[in-house]
Amino acid sequence: MADYDYDLFTIGAGSGGVRASRIAASHGARVAVAEEYRVGGTCVIRGCVPKKMLVYGSMFAEELEHASSYGWTIEGKSFDWPSLRDFVNNDVDRLEGLYGKTLEGHEVEVFRERATITGPHSVKLANGREVTAKVILVATGARPAMPDFPGVEHCITSNEMFHLEEQPNCLMVVGGGYIAMEFAGIFQALGSEVTVVNRTDRILRGYDEQIVERMLHIASGRGINFRMHSLIQRIDKDEDGCLVVDFGETNPVKVDQVLIAVGRAPNTEGLGLESAGVDLGKHGEIKVDEYNKTSCDSIYAVGDVTDRVQLTPVAIREGHAFADTVFGGKPRTVDYRAIPSAVFSQPPLAGVGMTEGEARSTYGNIKVYSSDFRPMKNIFSSHPERGLYKMIVDDTSEKILGIHMVGPESAEILQAAAVAVKAGLTKQAFDDTVAIHPSMAEELVLLK
């Protein structure tokens, strides 16, 4: 490998790229990373980490509503969006520094500039310098996708939500995925009037329909307005700065901000992948095999830039497996079965394994155990919100095929339960486990 400047050159310092680079370096590889924006990637800088912090901030608003029931009297309470925004962004700065120190600690050279591929073993930096590498890893992630209609330039994406000068009094969220639902919940809880616009009648595709329906019922009860089967025709900006949204109907809707959250597109444009013969899918995603290799033997890809599961923990696993395979002499692949995931809506929902619909299509005869209950914490609230837990079981083997839930702390509870699904445990294993009482999690071992 001495014929090359580096053993590994990684393009993109997000979760997958950083993990791959760090592990490769620990195996003795000479590694360099190029990042044109900020070290840490989408998750750390403008995704799941700062968004979860905003969720915590918005949840405090709900706690304040219950304060009198808890026995507390709070006078003069008010909310200041810039204070929350700045605290979150300051912590993002801290995390970026930690990611940089991690790379430095493993002697990974970092180029804080754009890099493009010029051949199977060559990369050109924005400053004009060209370097060579035995192996190139593309870990450039994805970006918010934007629809095409007149006035779309007046809209913002999830990237800009963390830097709003002012909290919008009236926010329109376009999309039906987890990003849309999470931001809708955050700003509704903080006091904004929120409308969710979706082109179909399905929200959160891929999650259990009954669980999603319960979440939608609760979200509507909290004040989020849903407009299904709606498509924006155009958006105009008024003299007062407000946006006028035209759906092709009689009365357009006036709002302060329009957030577009209709999905994400892989960052492959302008990377020079064609110069190395790297095959792309119809949406621009990089095609890879089970070992993360592209159609070019010296170029690999991990994370959201590929055609697999767009989740940060998955990108980290892929990056680690890549480094062990290519530089550690330990070929490893990632198992994409039974990957748990959550939506930090309000209330949050989470799931692992097959939904009820998927299980019926695959297995035919299944059993569905459920618990429809009001969490003790919700007794303090004036809203009669109920949680719902479901366990999907194969009728023949009693093997658990999936667990799905909506209610407070669903993601925290599901993480442990996901181990049982991944391990192939049966319903009897849950029945044999003594409950922790009183808790919400105990419902999982009491399902009927």
User: CA–CA separation, 374 vs 221, rounded Å?
Assistant: 15
3-state secondary structure the chain: CCCCCEEEEEECCCHHHHHHHHHHHHCCCCEEEECCCCCCHHHHHHCHHHHHHHHHHHHHHHHHHCHHHHCCCCCCCCCCHHHHHHHHHHHHHHHHHHHHHHHHHCCCEEECCCEEEEECCEEEECCCCEEEEEEEEECCCEEECCCCCCCHHHCECHHHHCCCCCCCCEEEEECCCHHHHHHHHHHHHCCCEEEEECCCCCCCCCCCHHHHHHHHHHHHHHCCEEECCCCCCEEEECCCCCEEEECCCCCCEEECEEEECCCEEECCCCCCHHHHCCCECCCCCECCCCCCECCCCCEEECHHHECCCCCHHHHHHHHHHHHHHHHCCCCCCCCCCCCCEEECCCCCEEEEECCHHHHHHHHCCEEEEEEEECCHHHHHCCCCCCEEEEEEEECCCCEEEEEEEECCCHHHHHHHHHHHHHCCCEHHHHHCCCCCCCCCHHHHHCCC
Cβ partners under 8 Å of residue 167, min gap 6: 79, 81, 187, 190, 191, 192
Q: List the binding residues for FAD.
A: 52, 304
Locus of tokens 């009648």: 201
Q: List the binding residues for NAD(+).
A: 175-182, 263
Q: Which one from 27, 106, 283, 437 is the annotated catalytic residue?
A: 437
Q: List the binding residues.
A: 52, 175-182, 263, 304
Residues in the chain: 448
Rg (CA), the chain: 24
Q: Is 121 a catalytic residue?
A: no
Sign (positive or negative) of CA dihedral 444, 213, 307, 364: positive
- The closest of 141, 191, 214, 163 to 51, measured between CA atoms, is 163
What are φ and ψ of residue 391, in 5° steps?
Answer: -125, 125
Number of Cβ within a 10 Å radius of residue 152: 15
Active site residues: 437
